[in-house]
Structure 1
């Protein structure tokens, strides 16, 4: 894989360094560029980015696969060439309609696109004050993974205290957040991961750990109130087998469906299954919102949630960071330090 170009010095206050994707591909297509610095709209906040995290969505959207995704994100090349969603930094300026934020505030949140840059404009509804007691750059690892786990467990799965939950794909960014959030919600947690992640899962609070290289969780006699599936590597029929009669299956990753449709066929099966079974079968589509970011910040400040960060890269090595995520088996989150 070719290295990204070294960042150029940003001399003009109206320009900035950013990571661009001139075409679809893997991490090697990313380039460091000097571009015009954005100006916030009335409902936006201009943030000086201190760190951004690489989400699975960033990596997979860069590939342009499945092809149907390109109808919304650009047919021949990414419609938004500066990629990245999650960030943390300081407020530089606020739009005229924004309240509750002022220049100098430390914030974290999720932008539609453009986090892999020195500056980004973010909707005020997608930002929150960064949690106390956590280094600011680490707060960039919270938004996507934290909100996905929270909405999957609390909103779609309707997890309550005293229930049992199984997290399939527990070692990634969402999974490591889900273990901690499920414990904070008062649940008994079972994590499914490979051998090298077992001790880490226990350190995060998992009550039970299943090594998928030696055991099949769908063959167990245990039953779970909520199954959060972040991998999509087991059939719906097999997953339902380990659900309680009134349990909830929450899918955040569709089974492979080819280059064109991707997980769309799997999503169709989920919708149909809900019509014929007593268990709740749900699809998780995370929606960024300030209230959830504030909830995550509160748990972090209370010592109940902390992002697991495996690797950190400088902004100029964004290609290597994205490729690390694309290659699979990353533990926790991967950060870009700006």
Structure 2
């Protein structure tokens, strides 16, 4: 059996305990593609799956007492190394990107319906930055139905991984976009097309001066009452994430409260239930290829420095995405 370098673990652990080692190299099965990984995207989900926190993550299918999958990483970009029986969409040498189980490795096996061709106008690093965060942005923007031209959209966390995609996609749909971010990210958010930028360290977007048809909260912890003050009477709030300390819910309680309250108010309050979609991935690839969206990569780390990359991400510093190179 051939081996490869990969980040693997047998138990839930601190990211600082992750190490690069040798594991068996996978073999493409029926309907699968073996990808030589060039880059892999990093997001907060990696921390959750590594640590097994909050405990609801374990109950969601990742393994109650220990991880079901030893390997980490989902967003992948690379070249097709081999194809399994029944694969008709790709051939050896094709450049692809998509999602898999075990992207933080030299090779990964991926179902062919979870891959699409990599746009020629972006790098492998940019391609790897795209799937998960762009899925979240796209599906979050659709939370209240298709974004209509002229709609007023507020993106909270506009300078982060999901936020940078959300701003650009909303503009591509013809919306009037306001981005909320910290001082260090205001120039970036303007540069990717936001019509207005709110520095949350200096002003409050819910001060009553303006209301929005759609608010996409990509990682704040503001109360529902605060967020609702900035919504139109029939507006939609989509909560994409939230990071708070806690071993059980860790931010998901806010999503649950939103869904419970929504039937009793005129506004639509919902939490994003992210799903993988070949149709959405093809759409995102086309949007990137047409230049309507450009993935923003803050910095890259080699595979052996995954713990350092996670620390940087968890510190809230990235302007856009952090990517692991292989």
What's the TM-score bracket when you normalise by the shorter of the two chains?
A: over 0.9
Alpha-carbon separation, structure 1, partners of 2:221 and 2:75: 26
Contact 1:55 1:86 in 2 (8 A): no
Alpha-carbon separation, structure 2, partners of 1:257 and 1:273: 23
> What is the SS of the residue equivalent to 2:304?
helix
Alpha-carbon separation, structure 1, partners of 2:212 and 2:143: 17
Q: Which runs of 5+ in 1 are unaligned?
A: 1-11
Matches of residues 23-42 of structure 1 in structure 2 within 5 Å?
23-42=11-30
Aligned twin of 1:179: 167
Alpha-carbon separation, structure 1, partners of 2:255 and 2:121: 39
Alpha-carbon separation, structure 2, partners of 1:251 and 1:68: 17
Alpha-carbon separation, structure 1, partners of 2:285 and 2:98: 11
Alpha-carbon separation, structure 1, partners of 2:145 and 2:309: 32
**Is 1:276 the counterpart of 2:264 in the alignment?**
yes
1:128-179 CA distance string (max 9 Å, x none): 0001211223211111111110111135553221101000111110001111
Aligned twin of 1:75: 64
1:225-263 CA distance string (max 9 Å, x none): 100011231111111111112211001114747321223
**Is 1:125 the counterpart of 2:119 in the alignment?**
no
Aligned twin of 1:249: 237
One of 48, 51, 70 as aligned partner of 1:60? 48
Decide whether aligned partners of structure 1 residues 256 and 93 sit closer, same or farther in structure 2, where only a CA change above 3 A counts.
same
**Is 1:134 the counterpart of 2:122 in the alignment?**
yes
Q: Which runs of 5+ in 2 are unaligned?
A: none
One of 85, 90, 93 as aligned partner of 2:79? 90
CA RMSD of aligned residues (A): 1.7
TM-score of the superposition, structure 2-length normalised?
0.95
Aligned twin of 1:216: 204
One of 88, 101, 117 as aligned partner of 2:90? 101
Alpha-carbon separation, structure 1, partners of 2:279 and 2:16: 36
> What is the SS of the residue equivalent to 1:275?
helix
Alpha-carbon separation, structure 1, partners of 2:14 and 2:196: 36
Decide whether aligned partners of structure 1 residues 176 and 28 sit closer, same or farther in structure 2, where only a CA change above 3 A counts.
same
Aligned twin of 1:259: 247
> What is the SS of the residue equivalent to 1:178?
helix
Alpha-carbon separation, structure 2, partners of 1:144 and 1:24: 22
Alpha-carbon separation, structure 2, partners of 1:130 and 1:77: 34
Contact 2:97 2:117 in 1 (8 A): yes
> What is the SS of the residue equivalent to 2:88?
coil
Aligned twin of 1:145: 133
Alpha-carbon separation, structure 2, partners of 1:25 and 1:266: 26
Alpha-carbon separation, structure 2, partners of 1:232 and 1:79: 30
Alpha-carbon separation, structure 2, partners of 1:93 and 1:153: 36
TM-score of the superposition, structure 1-length normalised?
0.91
